[in-house]
Amino acid sequence: MMIRVGICSWTEKTLVQSSEFYPKEAKTAEARLRYYASHFDVTEVDSTYYAIPAMQTAARWVERTPEDFVFHIKAYGSLTGHGVDPRSLPRDMQDMVNDKDREGKQVYIRDPSMLRDLADRFKESLQPLVFHRKIGLIVFQYPPWFPYGHRNMDSILEVKRLMEPLAVAIEFRNGTWLTPDKRGSIMKFLKENGLIYVIADEPQFGDFKTIPFLPDVTGDISYFRFHGRNRENWLKKGVETSLRFAYQYSEDELKEFIPSIREADSKTKVTYLMFNNCYRTSATRNGQMIRELLKKTT
C-alpha cells in the first residue's frame, strides 16, 4: 500500500508571497521547487491549465526533483471545454480562431482538428516527464456547465483517446454525474474505459452546482482532491481565484477522511492526496497534518 501527499500548485502566488513555507533564500523558481520536493514527493501542475508549457520547462522540472518525484498535470483548458486566453494558444494557431469562438477576452476551441493538434502539442511538451518516468495523471477537470449526458460521455472518451498512452483522471464539477441513480453506471463507465475517478471534497449547496464527496475507485490509482469548503467564495463571480480556495481544514475535518482514504488505498496500488486549497500555506499545512494523522492511525 502507498499513500502520497502533495499540493496542487507549488508556485501559487499567495503561497510564494506568504514566506511561511518557503525560506527567504528560496528566491528563484528552481530553489522553490527543490525546497518543495524536499517536503513532498508529488505535486499537481496547475499552470498547464492556462497554457501548454515549453518542453524545456518540463525538462527543468525533471532536473530539480528527486528520481521518484511525480508530477500530475492539469489538462490545458481548451481540452476540457473551458475558455482560454487566445494568447496562450500556440502562435501559429492564434489566427485560426473564428470570431464566433470568441467570448469577451476568452476563446473556446471547438474545431476537432484544432483540439487534436492542441492535444498532440500538449503531450509533446510533457515528454521529459514521460522519459524520466515522473509523469502521473493528466487531470481533466470539467466545468460546472458540463452535465451528465451521452454526448459529454463521448467527449470524455475522445480526450482519453487523444491523451493515449498517458493515464487520464476525470473530475466532475456538475452534480448530475453523481446522483444516486447515476453514480453506479458512471463509475462503471470510467472503470471500463481505464479512466481514474477524482474523489473531490468541496463546498456543498444541496444542488448540482457542486459534486458530493463520493469516495470510489475505478482503477489501480485512487486520487483525492481537497478543494476546501469556502462556501462564501466558491460560486462568487469575479472573485480572485485563490480566494475560492481560502480554507484550511481542521484536524477534526481531516480525521473524517481517514477511513475513506484507508478503504481506497486497500483497493489500489497507490493513493494520492492532493490539496488544492492553495491559499497561502493552507495546502502545505493540511498536507503535513494529514500525513501525521495517517501515521497515528496506522
Residue 100 above 80 pLDDT? no
The pTM (predicted TM-score) of the whole model is 0.95
Burial 234-249 (b: 16+ CB within 10 A, else e): beeeeeeebebbbbbb
The yes or no reply on domain 3-296 and CATH 2.60.40.10 is no
Are 15 and 46 in contact by the 8 Å Cβ rule? The answer is no
The CA-CA-CA angle for residues 97, 98, 99, to 5°, reads 120
**Sequence spans of domains, the chain:** 3-296
Lowest mean pLDDT among 53-67, 159-173, 208-222, 236-250: 236-250
Beta-carbon contacts of residue 228 (< 8 Å; ≥ 6 apart): 202, 203, 245, 246, 247, 248, 249, 276, 277, 279, 282
pLDDT of residue 105: 85
Q: Among 104, 107, 105, which Cα is nearest to 90's?
A: 107
Please determine, for residue 298, whether its predicted confidence score (pLDDT) is greater than 80. no
**Confidence band, pLDDT 50/70/90 cuts, at residue 214:** very high
Average pLDDT of the chain to the nearest whole number: 95
Q: pLDDT class for 95, splitting at 50, 70, 90? A: confident
Sign of the dihedral through C-alpha 97, 99, 104, 108: negative
- For the cut 90, the answer to whether the pLDDT of residue 34 exceeds it is yes
Percentage of the chain beyond pLDDT 70 is: 100
In this predicted structure, the answer to whether residue 1 has a pLDDT above a threshold of 70 is no
| Amino acid, single-letter form, for residue 96 | M
Q: Is residue 4 a contact partner of residue 273, using CB atoms and an 8 Å limit?
A: yes
Query: Using one digit for the tens of pLDDT, what is the confidence trace for 122-154?
Result: 999 999 999 999 999 999 999 999 999 999 999
